A = this chain, B = another copy of it.
């Protein structure tokens, strides 16, 4: 089965087009977890990484039955060096063991054999002598399009070989995304030109109604989302920017196709740091995972209500 079909199956099964962003920083991790890990491993990169692992595991255990997918942001792991990267890998594996689709938010992009190396490392299989290994083994990866087809095609090839998927950055959720992405070229913004290419790349990896090549379009730009939804009708859209970044359920309706599919909405801080939010003040620090579960249920409700 192709990756986009696996994603759709998980969305249908959980009745939730949402993804939890596993973007841990130490300030989100409860003090009692940090303290225990620092006692065991010292105030070291290893200690920080283990604290993040304990935090992730708590959230995954409390939410995996409600959601189709998670999106670990690798930057939050790389900031703790090799030890952090090891916990990224452990998190990917643990999530997959719980039946979740893992979207590696890695935003890689290079050219030729270098893009192939990223694709192989994160989605594919690398050869070592007579053996093969899947080094990080995410299900999806996010990809930056600035270098053009030379940068993206190697990822598409690996998707086809290994039954994996990618989401290509089209219109990002941040305030300055317009500096380049909104500039007008031949009568339409750059992000629409990127969308045209996503359609081209997507045609190389179709599975039924949808492609394994998806797109990233920020929840903070609902008007652009509507245009891009129509333009990329066979593309699954990963939508960041819901919640903490300001996107609301009502803004999201137009990111979906008429079949109710075609989009998956990410929330990171809003879920994983819910216990620090006034709205979930009834949960103690020790109940951070229960707060995350409550926040997932609220998010599902918010998105559902937008369709009514």
Contact = CB atoms under 8 A, between A and B. Distances in A.
Interface of A: 23, 25-26, 34, 38, 43-45, 47-48, 73, 75-76, 78-82, 84-86, 89, 107-115, 117-118, 120-122, 126-131, 133, 135-136, 144-151, 169, 172-181, 183-186, 190, 193-194, 197
Given A81-B121, A109-B144, A197 B179 contact: yes
Nearest to A83: B135
- Number of copies of chain A assembled together: 2
A103 to B, nearest CB: 14
A184 B48 CA distance: 47
B193 A118 contact: no
B75 A117 contact: yes
A180 B193 CA distance: 8
Contacts of A84: 121, 135
A292 B186 CA distance: 47
A164 to B, nearest CB: 15
Q: Which of A47, A114, A126, A177 has the most CB of B within 10 A?
A: A114
A24 B194 CA distance: 31
A236 B85 CA distance: 31
Given A75-B115, A129-B47, A145 B82 contact: no
A190 to B, nearest CB: 7
B111 A173 contact: yes
Nearest to A78: B121
A71 to B, nearest CB: 12
A147 B172 contact: yes
A89 B82 CA distance: 8
A197 to B, nearest CB: 7
A118 B118 CA distance: 17
Nearest to A114: B75
A193 B108 CA distance: 22
A174 B148 contact: yes
A147 B176 contact: yes
Nearest to A182: B148
